[in-house]
Structure 1
């Protein structure tokens, strides 16, 4: 089998797995038009149609189903054989794709990139920074960073860094005009700065712990943002009450620009986790990345004492 023929078959399997030309092209790191041409060449060479295409979906023909059933196990066996040989290398090498939200990337990944490059010069670390909650397997990532409350059951999760704590804050000017809420239920009487998850339409509901359980509070106000830094800046200017991680607002509290509130309703909760799919065989490069960032971000707070939002 020539190299081009193997590439055509691998492209076909990827489309079947992804169910979509655009996703398959992204996974293979080629353009959709190149992928379409590759499949046309494969179908021309075999003399049968393998895929039914519409503008919205892709499905396998009977011939495609038969080819996938026979070739996919063989492809997986070949890839496993290659990984097995690569794992014998003394120095881990290859590309590792990592997905991290902005906050996690800034605090847990970025400070250690220089040392990582020195210790693992043959690993290409491909980092995507995105606050959207993305399925790392579907999108072709090897590793992801995610909050404990968003972990998936079928993924391995390793805790990185300390537990987190949310903090409601407002400027002294806002407080002088509107006062301080003494209970989360009083927030509906205040001007609050809403925050939206990247990639989601819905607004994040503020979470507090009261009477032994977590409660979700819907707030309203004059501003909605998808950038935490903007919410914090707006709070310092008296726009309203912001709700964000304590570590980000603590310096502004220390200088008197912001005043904390409702602290008794805001305990620590499990923070960031490094997560990856359960797999029988892991490349040496992926294992090296996991071990490196785990060692640099060992938690100092007792995770078992943290309260996880429901």
Structure 2
């Protein structure tokens, strides 16, 4: 069935419901003469009269009534589908699929997903984590989160995390056994949580900078991970010193489970961006996620505690 037939059938239902070309035309936003012409064309295509009309009245023929009985459920179903689509456009609901790098998932999504899902109970969130670049559209994802240099050129990018300050951290129980480092070179005397970069498999070298001086430390230790969250967890468990970012360490610094060191040597890295295809019609669910991430980051920025260990 082509689009014209569907339009004419919808118009036929409107005329049959109101038994008036003028009233049906007003509902459909067309002129009575245009509507009458459409009905004549529909009857010619079907080869049967659907409506009896005079200058004063309109009635539905027996053939029209039989067609109407079958059309009404379909028309109502179509109207319901369009109404549901409008609700989806206006209200966050349905499945939202996000692809993020490990760091982005831990720093951006995990801190707000409970709040997001409780605020929007009709949303189902799917978070896939990986380091390899993928085709979001081909894989069926609504958006991705990554550093700016990992965002494809044909995507819309929205900043969801500002520049990320490094945090070098360890547990109080760990520092009770060892003197806290005062300079990057002191890390040679410590057990550090090593990090293997997913993808190329290289072991991450810890960069530091202060007063235009820079140092790169190949940290040694008995534990190596390839997940930022596990690096922080290892530090919380007293296994050594971890090199991470404030967003991941802040809850444990606040609770006293971690202590920050080498803050004056800690550099800042570029922030993270949420990216998605297309310039128009951002789904309400994705827009709600972006707004909540920004709100949460703003609130967190206002509530960050000063580090009580800056003189260590």
Q: TM-score range by the shorter chain?
A: 0.5 to 0.7
Q: Does 1:171 align with 2:192?
A: no
TM-score, normalising length: structure 2:
0.54
**How many angstroms does 1:206 deviate by?**
2.6
Match of 1:287 in 2: 283
Q: Show the 5 A alignment for 1:117-132.
A: 117=121, 121=122, 125=124, 127-132=126-131
Match of 1:296 in 2: 292
Match of 1:114 in 2: 118
Which contiguous aligned blocks of 4+ residues in structure 1 show a shift greater than 6 angstroms?
none
* Separation in structure 1 between the aligned mates of residue 293 and residue 213 of structure 2, nearest angstrom: 29
Match of 2:231 in 1: 231
* Separation in structure 2 between the aligned mates of residue 202 and residue 142 of structure 1, nearest angstrom: 30
* Separation in structure 2 between the aligned mates of residue 214 and residue 130 of structure 1, nearest angstrom: 32
Match of 2:17 in 1: none
Alignment coverage as a number of residue pairs: 210
Q: Deviations over 1:207-253 (max 9, x none)?
A: 33334487654322111013444433432443221122324434443
Match of 2:261 in 1: 261
| Residues 1:252 and 1:292: Cα distance change in structure 2 (over 3 Å) | closer
Larger radius of gyration: 2
**How many angstroms does 1:189 deviate by?**
4.0
Match of 1:249 in 2: 249
Gaps of 5+ in 1: 1-85, 303-310
TM-score, normalising length: structure 1:
0.54
| Residues 1:167 and 1:142: Cα distance change in structure 2 (over 3 Å) | same
For the 8 Å contact 1:136–1:144, the answer to whether it is kept is no
For the 8 Å contact 1:97–1:127, the answer to whether it is kept is yes
Gaps of 5+ in 2: 1-81, 303-312
For the 8 Å contact 1:194–1:203, the answer to whether it is kept is yes
SS at the partner of 1:112?
helix
- For the aligned residue pairs, the C-alpha RMSD in angstroms reads 3.7
- Structure 1 window deviating more from structure 2 (211-220 vs 155-164): it is 211-220
Q: Show the 5 A alignment for 1:79-98.
A: 89-92=85-88, 96-98=96-98
| Residues 1:254 and 1:274: Cα distance change in structure 2 (over 3 Å) | closer
Match of 2:158 in 1: 158
The partner residue of 2:109 within 86, 97, 105 is 105
| Residues 1:109 and 1:133: Cα distance change in structure 2 (over 3 Å) | farther
**How many angstroms does 1:190 deviate by?**
2.7
Q: Show the 5 A alignment for 1:14-93.
A: 89-92=85-88
Match of 1:30 in 2: none
**How many angstroms does 1:293 deviate by?**
1.7
